[in-house]
Chain A
Amino acid sequence: MAELDDIIHQPLRLRIMAALNALPSGVGLEFARLKKLTGATDGNLGAHIETLSKAGYVAVEKAFVGKKPQTTVTATAAGRGAFARHVAMLQEIIAASGGKP
C-alpha cells in the first residue's frame, strides 16, 4: 500500500511538486516562474526547494543568462515516483471513503 509522503504533503511543497510534475521529464521551471505559479514568497520558496532537494526530489541548477543569475528547478526521477505514490495514496483515501469528501 502506498503512503502519504510527509515531505511532499506540506502545502507549498505539494504545489511545487505538482507544478514540476506537470512538465515533461527533464524539463524544469525557472525560480521566478515557479514563484508565480505557486504564489510563494522568495524566502519561503527557497526554503522548501531546499527541503525537496535534500530529499532528492528536485534538482536545482544555477546558471547565468547574460549577467542575470537564473535558477531552474527540475523534478528528479525519485521525485516523480514519490509524487505519483503520494497522489495514488490521496486517491485511495477518497476511494476508501466511498468517494465522499
Chain B
Amino acid sequence: MTTPEKAGSTMIDSQQASEALSEINEIARRVRQSRIYNLASMIMIMWGVLTFAGYLVTYLAPRYAGYGWLAVYAAGIAGSIVVSASQHARSGVRTFDIRMFSAFLLFVAFGFFTNWLGHFTPRQMGTFWPIYFMLVYTIAGLWVGEAFVAIGLGVTALTLIGYFFIGDAFDLWMAFVNGGGLILGGLWMRRS
C-alpha cells in the first residue's frame, strides 16, 4: 500500500484509485452489453415472429414452404436493416453495416452450399438452419454476453430433440422451439 495522495479535498491511495478505475471499466462493460442486448433483442423478436410464421407455413402448406421461407428471409433482412438504422439514429449503435451484410450473405451462401453438398432432406434442412444460426449466437456470446450462449445452446438442444424424437409434427415443434425460442430469448434480453 502506498502513501495516500491529496487532490482537491479528497485523499486516496493507489489501491483505492485502482478500485475506482476497475469500477469504471466494469460499468462501461455493462453499458456496452446492455446496448447490444437492447438492439439484439428487437432483431431477435422480429426474426422469432418471422421464423414462427415460416415453420407454420411449412407445417400447414408444405407445397408453399419454399416461397414462405424466401419471404421470411427477405422480410428478416429488410427488417434488420430498418431496426439497425433506427437504433443508430437514436443511440449511435451501429451493428448492420455493409461489412456485416456481406458476412451474413457469405454465411447464408455457405449454408446453401452445405445443403446442396449433403443432399439434405426437408427435415434435415429444418434442423440444419436453426443449429447453424445458433452456432453464431453461441460463438458471439463468448464475447458479448452469456445470454447469447444460453439461447444458442438451448435452441440447438431443443432442435435436436425435435429432429430425433418428434415425428410428423416436427415443423410445428420447430415453430415453437425456434420461433418461440427467439421471441422469448429477445424478451429475456430486454430485461437483462
Q: Residues of A at under 8 Å CB distance from B?
A: 2-6, 9, 11, 14-15, 18-19, 21-24, 27, 29, 33, 36-38, 87, 89-91, 93-94, 96-97, 100-101
- How distant is A49 from chain B, measured CB to nearest CB, in Å? 15
For A22, list chain B residues within 8 Å (CB): 27-28, 31-32
Q: Per-residue CB proximity of B19-49 to A under 8 Å, as 1/0? A: 1110110011011101100000000000000
Stretch at the interface among B10-18, B102-110, B151-159: B10-18
* B interface SS class: helix
CB B21 to nearest CB in A, in angstroms, measures: 5
Q: Is the CB of A37 within 8 A of B27?
A: yes
B interface list, Cβ under 8 A from A: 1-2, 5, 7-10, 12-15, 17-21, 23-24, 27-28, 30-32, 34-35, 91-92
- Determine the chain B residues whose CB is within 8 A of the CB of A14 once the complex forms: 20, 23-24
**How far, in angstroms, from A23 to B1 measured CA to CA in the complex?**
34
Assess the B27–A3 pair: CB atoms within 8 A. Answer: no
Do A15 and B27 touch across chains, with their CB atoms under 8 A apart?
A: yes
CA distance A100 to B32 in the complex (A): 28
List B contacts of A2 (CB < 8 A): 7
Distance between B180 CB and nearest chain A CB, rounded to angstroms:
26
Complexed CA–CA distance, A6 and B11 (Å): 10
| Complex interface: chain A residues within 8 A of B35 (CB) | 23
A-B contact pairs, 25 of them (CB 8 A): A3-B7, A5-B8, A6-B8, A6-B9, A6-B10, A9-B10, A18-B23, A18-B27, A18-B28, A19-B27, A22-B27, A22-B31, A23-B35, A24-B92, A27-B92, A37-B31, A87-B24, A90-B18, A93-B5, A93-B12, A94-B21, A96-B14, A101-B15, A101-B18, A101-B19
Interface residue from A6, A19, A90 paired with B31 (Cβ < 8 Å): A19
Q: Which residues on the A side are within 8 Å of B28 (C-beta)?
A: 18-19, 21-22
Task: Name 20 extra pairs, CB < 8 A, besides A19-B31, A101-B1.
Answer: A6-B8, A6-B9, A6-B10, A9-B12, A14-B20, A18-B24, A22-B31, A23-B92, A24-B91, A24-B92, A27-B91, A36-B34, A37-B31, A37-B34, A90-B18, A94-B14, A94-B18, A100-B2, A100-B14, A101-B19
Bound: A24/B2 CA distance, A: 35
List B contacts of A18 (CB < 8 A).
23-24, 27-28
Chain A residues with CB under 8 Å of B32's CB are 22
Q: Which of A33, A89, A93 has the most CB of B within 10 A?
A: A93
Closest CB-CB distance, A52 to chain B, in whole Å? 15
- Bound CA span A64–B138, Å: 38
Please report the C-alpha to C-alpha distance between residue A14 and residue B20 in the assembled complex, in whole angstroms: 8
Q: Kindly report which residue of chain A lies nearest to residue B5, judged by CB atoms.
A: A93
